[in-house]
Structure 1
Amino acid sequence: MIFGSPRHLRFHTCGDYPLGEINWHIIDPTVRYDGEVFLNSGQVAFFQTAEARDPLRDYGLRPQDMTTHQDIGL
């Protein structure tokens, strides 16, 4: 799940309740899942594939409709 923006990766490193937990924030991460790239430098990897062209064509979308918004609110 992408929370807020794919450019902002947040994960918990220790603790199990508020104020005691520590989390890291990484900007523009590259994330692999089972060896497949899910996020590539903060961009949704699917948007960069040939498969992404099918929804564009099938639903009359523009290429900019399948891009990553760059604003991460920081």
Structure 2
Amino acid sequence: ANASALAAAGGAEVHMQSSLSAEKLSERLSALMREPRQLATMAAAARSTGKPDAVQLLADLTEAIASGKTVLEFRKEMPR
């Protein structure tokens, strides 16, 4: 699921494991290494899907649940 989300944003490529070999992977990586602009574009797209505060958000959610709040209550209290 994570790879699909990154690919949908343009930050990754998804290849079926059943059709992937070491040779094919090596060829694709070599091709990408010759395309620094494409790599930069993909990197920017991948960064845009990230959630920099994910660790803090998870910690806050854990504390809220431990204190007896529901996830819905936690979401309502979250700053927008």
- TM-score of the pair, normalised by structure 1: 0.28
Higher strand residue share: 1
Instruction: Say which one has the larger Rg.
Output: 2
Higher helix residue share: 2
- TM-score of the pair, normalised by structure 2: 0.26
